[in-house]
A and B are shown apart, each in its own frame.
Chain A
Amino acid sequence: MRKIAVVDDNADNRLIIRTILEDQYEIMEFSGGIEAIEGFKKTMPDVVILDISLPEMDGTEILRRIRDDAVLRDLPVIALTAHAMVGDREKYLSVGFNDYVAKPILDMSILFSTIQRWIPA
């Protein structure tokens, strides 16, 4: 089973994504950036879903560390953000995220199709 890492400080948000995806993917949950990066080094996920508004280290900074890391740099990272303003997608893609999903997840098929773009079946 392919592994999806979910990095979000809110347990409910992690549970929602787990519930949606757990039939098809193995879910790794992390509540913060530092433990996530350590966890990735032990077990490499296939895709990372990364919340942007995290209390200690925000998603953009975590992404930068992933891209700077020789082992992790090619990981597909999907931004998960509540800043659902028009134009946000372009903004996050331009800083190096592979893809973008807006919170709340109103259409589950969008989450699936976004993940599938980065994990060829």
Chain B
Amino acid sequence: MLQQAIRVLLIEDQEADYLLTRRMLSTVEGRVFDLEWARSYHAGLDAIQRRVHDVCLVDYELHDGTGLDLLKECVAIDYQSPLILLTGYSDYHIDMEAMQLGAADFLVKDHLTPSLLERAIRYAIEQSRTMHELRRQGEELRASELRFRSVVQSANDAIVLADDQGKIIFWNHGAERIFGYSEDEVLNAPLEVLMPPHYREAHRLGLQRLRSTGKAKLIGRTLEMEGLRKDGSEFPLELSLATWITAEGTFFTGILRDISDRRRADDLRRAKEEAEQATRAKSQFVAGISHELRTPLHAIIGFTSILLQNKSGNLNQRDTDLLQRVLINARDQLGLIDSILDLSKVEAGKLEMQTAVVRIDQIVHEIVEQFEVNLAGSAVKIHARMPVRIEPIQTDAARLKQVVINLVENALKFTEQGMVSIEVVVNPSNSKPIRIDVTDTGIGIPARQLKRIFEPFHRLERVQEGTPGGTGLGLSISRSICEMLGYDLTVKSEPGRGSTFSIVVDREANRLPIPA
């Protein structure tokens, strides 16, 4: 197999020495040398700059410079190929200096033989390659180390390395942030400082087992435990452990994540679920008990109604008056139970919606008719104000009606005389309903009460103050139903003048001013 020629640069001002060198190289068996001759220091410097030679032979004493000067030049220009210095005599000091400047070898011309020269060249090239390879590997290692550091340092998690004695040998910024210790404070400290006392014994045993058996229970697993900060506080963390083995021993990498936020979120979610579960259970209980509470009331109301007919004619006026009181109270109590049941259904999300195309004007007429009968002879009148044309809407007619009835009943409760009106406000451009207002001329609501008026049982306080009664649930239920229908329920009031409750059907349109 033909070997590639070794390119040799000879810097030598004695032609005899050049010829000698050429002859020696030509006698080497199995190797081909491609020899270039530079006759002076400066010619040599030029040749070196081309950087095409595998090896460079330099005479120490040139007429325009020394081999040592050339070596310095080579260092300065970071010359890669090996340089062998040739001298006429052996000089220890020059030899030392040459070696320090990076010469591959130092040969005395008189002692040279073809085989010595060939071997010196071969070794120099080989050594140079090895050096380059080492240097390249060193650079790669440095790059890899830099990569590793930048990844590790930029991690949010704590990354901690320890040796098999459990001593901390690496500590990243994440660890500093999470535990509060700076790198200086924890390097060479035992890992135990990072754990609450009750973990330490198990940790020591684990380390012992690892050292004696090479086995560790926790390696390759992720576990949750508590960490100990510098300030003594404990916090929940998630730990992943890995080991790595080198000639120097076994090491650990621990990646630790502060999971306080996650724990808090979990706790919150659990609390929320428990609260919702409790609400559902409560609602079911209320629904169940409402039924039980109603049944005897039905009997009381039924029997009282029958007695009030006075079929046998045995009851006098006072008897029937008292029975009437029984009936009124029983019915009030029934209304209260119904309201509680409604509220529990709303809270439990059990109120089903059935939507259809609905004519609001029809609903309002029905309600007004119903209340007109009840109000016959009273000092309060009810009436409706509606435009001629109202576009039908998609909604749950029964629920919407329930809300309007609640609002009218509420208005009547606080209005001794005057007017309760139901007004449907439409968008004049397309006749689509914007809102339904229920307005009364009653006692009104003080501003400080307005905020809380939709809270369940709000009115109960006022019952105790001797103001008109009610469950205090009607408005809360009404608002909940409105929300389910996608509507808002709002209130405006002026004490002494009256109140207006508005079912806002079209929020967008309601924000715009209505042209008169």
Which residues of A line the B interface, CB within 8 A? Answer: 10, 12-13, 16, 19-20, 53, 82, 84-87, 90, 103-106, 108
Assess whether A104 is in contact with B291, with CB atoms less than 8 Å apart.
no
Assess whether A86 is in contact with B298, with CB atoms less than 8 Å apart.
no
B212-250: CB near A (< 8 Å → 1, else 0) gives 000000000000000000000000000000000000000
Instruction: List which B348-365 residues lie within 8 A (CB) of chain A.
Output: 354
Say how far B67's CB is from chain A's closest CB, in angstroms: 111
User: Can you report 9 A-B residue pairs in the complex whose CB atoms are below 8 A from each other?
Assistant: A12-B303, A13-B298, A16-B298, A16-B302, A82-B291, A84-B338, A85-B342, A108-B306, A108-B309
Assess whether B306 is in contact with A19, with CB atoms less than 8 Å apart.
yes
Stretch at the interface among B93-101, B394-402, B501-509: B394-402
Instruction: List which B361-401 residues lie within 8 A (CB) of chain A.
Output: 396-399, 401
Q: How far is the CA of A52 from the CA of B399 in the complex (A)?
A: 22
Assess whether A104 is in contact with B301, with CB atoms less than 8 Å apart.
yes
- The chain B residue sitting closest to A94, CB to CB, is B354
Contacts of B354 in A (CB 8 A): 87
Q: How far is the CA of A19 from the CA of B311 in the complex (A)?
A: 11
Q: How far is the CA of A13 from the CA of B306 in the complex (A)?
A: 12
- The chain A residue sitting closest to B302, CB to CB, is A16
**Which of B295, B305, B306 is close to A10, meaning CB atoms less than 8 Å apart?**
B295
Assess whether A108 is in contact with B305, with CB atoms less than 8 Å apart.
yes
Q: Does B281 touch A at the CB level, under 8 Å?
A: no
Given known contacts A86-B402, A104-B334, is B291 in contact with A10 (CB within 8 Å)?
no
Q: How far is the CA of A86 from the CA of B354 in the complex (A)?
A: 12
Contacts of A13 in B (CB 8 A): 295, 298-299, 302
Assess whether A90 is in contact with B398, with CB atoms less than 8 Å apart.
yes
Q: How far is the CA of A72 from the CA of B35 in the complex (A)?
A: 123
- The chain B residue sitting closest to A17, CB to CB, is B302
- The chain A residue sitting closest to B308, CB to CB, is A108
Contacts A10-B295, A10-B298, A13-B298 aside, 12 further interface pairs with beta carbons under 8 A come to: A12-B296, A13-B299, A16-B299, A82-B298, A86-B399, A86-B405, A87-B354, A87-B397, A104-B297, A104-B298, A105-B302, A105-B305
Assess whether B294 is in contact with A16, with CB atoms less than 8 Å apart.
no
Assess whether B305 is in contact with A53, with CB atoms less than 8 Å apart.
no
Assess whether A20 is in contact with B306, with CB atoms less than 8 Å apart.
yes
- The chain B residue sitting closest to A12, CB to CB, is B299
